[in-house]
């Protein structure tokens, strides 16, 4: 989980970085709001922690900037200001949570999990590496352009990405993609996999769907 921390107090920033690193989460630190906005223009994060008081551009202004740019990324304000009117202002501006210093790292981590969980469980995108499924528009986007998939192919790649990294039996795939009471007497599944493979490969260069002899398919995670 990529985390952006905008915090001018080096001690706090480094302590957070250390804690997150222990949990295996890479952290990027911006020393003021201006730098945070600079990072945000080119990198996408899973959650953003903002100190309120920072040089140049304040956390609350960064928050406003993010929301005005249309992003829904989870934002947590992280500040010494404990007055109700500050909290209300931040939350109304689109922040997802507000934690006052000093705080416990465990609580912060739990709050981050809560907002990220909510964000991801309700998002309309399914992302795998640089392949993004737009679940509502039913489009597949990659840096190399859009992949045009038919309905069944889209359902199939969605199932694959949702179960990436583990072997999926053909029976289970069938149940989910073709419907509970559909028992194929032919090789529809294989045929659809074939077509999907071709389209991914055309766009992606390599194939991501591996066959496991006698067991099913595996969507590869590197």
Judged by CB, which is closer to DNA: 143, or 151? 151
Asked if residue 87 binds a second copy (CB under 8 A), the reply is: yes
The residue with tokens 């679940």 is: 135
Give me 53's structure tokens. 């008081």
CB 182 within 8 A of CB 194: no
Asked if residue 58 binds DNA (CB under 7 A), the reply is: no
CB 163 within 8 A of CB 208: no
Judged by CB, which is closer to DNA: 67, or 170? 170
Judged by CB, which is closer to a second copy: 119, or 128? 119
Interface positions, 102-161, toward a second copy (CB under 8 A): 104, 106-107, 109-111, 113-115, 117-119, 121-124, 135-136, 138, 151
Give me 81's structure tokens. 């200001």
Interface positions, 137-196, toward DNA (CB under 7 A): 148, 150-153, 170, 178, 184-188, 190-195
Give phi and psi for 88, each to the nearest 5.
Answer: -65, -45
Give me 20's structure tokens. 């997150």
We find the least distance from the C-beta atom of residue 90 to a second copy, in angstroms, to be 8
CB 112 within 8 A of CB 136: no
We find the least distance from the C-beta atom of residue 214 to DNA, in angstroms, to be 5
Residue 77's closest CA among 103, 51, 53?
Answer: 51
Asked if residue 128 binds DNA (CB under 7 A), the reply is: no
Say how far apart CA 63 and CA 37 lie, in whole Å: 10
We find the least distance from the C-beta atom of residue 124 to a second copy, in angstroms, to be 6
Residue 29's closest CA among 45, 46, 14?
Answer: 14
Window of 22-30, 32-40, 80-88, 172-180 that interacts with a second copy by CB under 8 A: 80-88
Provide Rg for the chain, Cα atoms: 22
Asked if residue 203 binds DNA (CB under 7 A), the reply is: no
Residues near a second copy (CB under 8 A): 72, 84-85, 87-88, 91-92, 94-97, 104, 106-107, 109-111, 113-115, 117-119, 121-124, 135-136, 138, 151
């Amino acid at each position: 989980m990529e985390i952006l921390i905008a915090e001018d107090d080096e001690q706090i920033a480094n302590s957070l970085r250390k804690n997150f690193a222990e949990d295996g989460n890479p952290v990027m630190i911006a020393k003021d709001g201006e730098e945070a906005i600079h990072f945000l223009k080119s990198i996408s994060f899973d959650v953003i922690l903002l100190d309120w008081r920072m040089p140049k551009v304040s956390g609350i202004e960064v928050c406003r900037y993010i929301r005005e740019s249309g992003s829904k990324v989870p934002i947590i304000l992280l500040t010494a200001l404990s007055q109700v009117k500050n909290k209300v202002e931040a939350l109304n501006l689109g922040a997802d949570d507000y934690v006052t210093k000093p705080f416990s790292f465990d609580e912060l981590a739990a709050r981050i999990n809560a907002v990220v969980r909510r964000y991801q469980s309700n998002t309309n995108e399914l992302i795998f590496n640089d392949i993004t499924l737009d679940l509502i528009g039913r489009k597949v986007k990659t840096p190399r352009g859009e992949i045009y998939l038919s309905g069944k192919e889209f359902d199939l790649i969605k199932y694959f990405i949702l179960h990436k990294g583990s072997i999926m039996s053909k029976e289970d795939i069938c149940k989910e993609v073709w419907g509970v009471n559909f028992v194929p007497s032919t090789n529809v599944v294989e045929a659809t996999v074939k077509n999907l493979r071709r389209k991914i490969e055309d766009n992606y260069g390599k194939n991501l769907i591996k066959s496991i002899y006698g067991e099913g398919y595996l969507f590869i995670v590197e």
